Every structure is written in structure tokens, then in C-alpha cells.
Amino acid sequence: MQFDATSAECLIFTFKEGLLSPIAHDLKIRVTRFTLEVDPATRRIDARFDPTSLRVVNAMKNGAEAPDALSDKDKLKIEENIRKDVLEALRYPEIRFVSEGDGTSDHQLRGTLTLHGVSRPVSASMRDEAGRHIGETPLRQPDFGIKPYSAMLGALRVRPDVTVWLSVPSTS
């Protein structure tokens, strides 16, 4: 089975910190180009994500969406910073996850994530919800050689930990 952004959804949530964090925004970001190939017999997953396809959906305030908090111009600037300075998408044009297959249970997904040229084991908690499989995992950017975004001499910065959320249709 194969899924992409027309049938599945991949979101990244970032969180602000620092002295000027009260004037900044947590972000909800959508990955708009990716493929997930799932082998039901082995439970192996091979997923590829395009780092140039990240789009800011909206700001988040106290865990709720704040759709009017960012202008379109602000969103484009953030997206450019993500592509160029954070993920270095020209240098690292693909993000890939390969599951261990037999190491996958109904509530846990384990595999190797290659991000920013670094491969590391990751684990995601899984749940079923409204006919979909939902996976969620925290990722620590420095573990993959990524320096979290900062501005104004570090008074405004993105926390090292981001949350990746993925939803695919249930196949059973």
C-alpha cells in the first residue's frame, strides 16, 4: 500500500522559548510532499519526505490554532528559514524513515530516521482514532545535527524538541 499527502497527513509542531518568547509563536507546519510505502505482510514502512515542502499552516497559542496570528508574508519567511537555514534542504534533499518491520507493534513504531544527513533510531507511539492510524513522536533537532532556529541574539528561539504527527487511513 502506498500513501501520500492526498490520503495521509504529516504535521510538525514547533515550540518557542527564550526571553522574547511571549511575542513569538508556536507553529503548526504541514509536510506537503511525501510517500509512505507499507508492506502489510511484514509491517515494514518506507517513508520519504521532501524538506522543501514544509508549509506553515498557522501559529498555535496555548495549544489552539491561531489562524490570524501570522501574515502570508510571515509564513513565507518562516518557510524559507526552515528550508535554507534549519533543514538545509539543498544539501539534504530527502528525509527518510524505514521501520524495523518485526519491531513494530500495534502501539509502537520503531525504525531509523535519516534527517539532515544523520541516521538515528526513533520510536513513535501509535493509536487508532476514527478509522486512522495516528503516530506521534518527539524529535530532538540537535540529535540530527540541526541547530534550532534562533533570532535576536538567542532571545527568541525554537526549542530543540519538535513533535512530528502522522495520520494514515486504517487498512483493516
pLDDT of residue 17: 87
Cα distances (angstroms) measured from residue 142 to each of 39, 55, 110, 116, 120: 31, 22, 20, 10, 12
- Tell me which of 21 and 65 has the higher pLDDT: 65
The model's pTM is: 0.92
Count CB-CB contacts under 10 A for residue 150. Answer: 13
Q: Yes or no: is domain 2-169 CATH 3.20.20.70?
A: no
Note whether 97 and 47 are within 8 A (CB). yes
- Tell me which of 122 and 104 has the higher pLDDT: 122
Label residue 151 by pLDDT band (50, 70, 90). Answer: confident
Considering the chain, what is the average pLDDT of its residues?
Answer: 91
Q: Where are the beta strands (DSSP E) in 50-144?
A: 54-61, 64-66, 95-99, 108-115, 118-129, 132-140
Domain boundaries, the chain: 2-169
Label residue 67 by pLDDT band (50, 70, 90). Answer: very high
Q: Any idea which of 33-47, 90-104, 118-132 has the lowest mean pLDDT?
A: 90-104
Q: Any idea which of 82-91, 94-103, 158-167 has the lowest mean pLDDT?
A: 94-103
pLDDT of residue 102: 57
pLDDT of residue 139: 97
For the stretch 23-35, pLDDT in tens is 788 999 999 999 9
Distance, CA of 72 to CA of 53 (rounded, Å): 16
Label residue 22 by pLDDT band (50, 70, 90). Answer: confident
Average pLDDT on 139-159 reads 89
